[in-house]
Copies of this chain bind each other. A is one copy, B any other.
Amino acid sequence: MGDEIFLKWSWFLEWLTPGRATLKHVKRVIFQGRSRFQSVAVVEVEDEGKVLVLDGKTQSSESDEFIYHEALVHPAMLLHGSPEKVLILGGGEGATLREVLKYRSVKRAVMVDIDDLVVEIARKYLPEWHQGSFDDPRASLVIDDAWNFVAEGRERGFDVVISDLVDPLEAGPATRLYSLEYYRMVKDVMSSDGVFVTQAVSISHLARYHAIIKNTLSRVFKHVASYGVYVPSFDSMWGFVLASDSRDPQVLASRDEFESRVAKLIDPKTLKFLDYMALLHIFSIPKTYKEKIDEVEEYATLDNQVFLPA
């Protein structure tokens, strides 16, 4: 079997830190191009199926995107309890939108993505991700910088806001969307009982950066909770931060409460990853990571932005 290795010439080299990278065999390059904001590729990777790659980083892969997207969306939606208006910042693949639209209570889901090429490529090459969500009558797509949409307060009263953005890289389009000033503006477009959630980089490998996101949100919202899940295609335990002024995430720890909210809001058969055990799983961050997060005191502002090391 090893001899085959010599025939595998095309590899995706993804850096997790400057001292660690993953090599994945690329079976096929489906699309490769460059938008105004970033390089964009869709490749087929051995063991993973199709993968969306932005600026050299795996955004999601066919084999496990549901782990990431279900973990991102459902805790916030269930914590709110009856979300009607939802705002998605980023999320170009359409899979975050797909998860949001599973909720019977949702009447309107606005998705704001800066990069029309990513959305176009997703619509064309990633149907397994969006599953037609862009055509749902409740969905509304805005191509713009999330900063502008939020700063101008074009629409308000969102019950849940989901930040599904690329990582805060120095030259990347999303860095200021992890700042204190931005989170304050986001809060202004939320309903008073609103819930915010954001992807928050790797807990296992970039705990300091995860902590900075958490700390920044702690200065804006009363309740803030970190959670994480191992996503194989990311080669790490991926982090998320949930934030709200009025809703305490602890409420979901009750199995009865969790089950009754699910029953009311969504068809559980449409969930491949999230159930009560999975919820316990993702919120019980091992002590070793928890300690690394807790020792960080930094937070990010526009004048003191924080970039990932790569």
Binding site for B on A (CB under 8 A): 1-15, 17-26, 28-29, 32, 39, 41, 43, 45-47, 53, 55-57, 64, 66-67, 170, 204-205, 230, 232, 235-237, 272-273, 275, 277-278, 280-281, 284, 286-288, 309-310
Contacts and interface: CB of A to CB of B under 8 A. Distances in A.
A122 to B, nearest CB: 18
Contacts of A12: 9-11
Contacts of A286: 67, 273, 278, 281
Given A236-B232, A280-B277, A280-B280, A10 B26 contact: yes
What secondary structure prevails in chain A residues at the interface with B?
mixed
A23 B21 contact: yes
Contacts of A41: 9-10
A3 B3 contact: yes
A8 B56 CA distance: 6
A4 B171 CA distance: 11
A280 B284 contact: yes
Contacts of A275: 287
Contacts of A287: 272-273, 275, 278
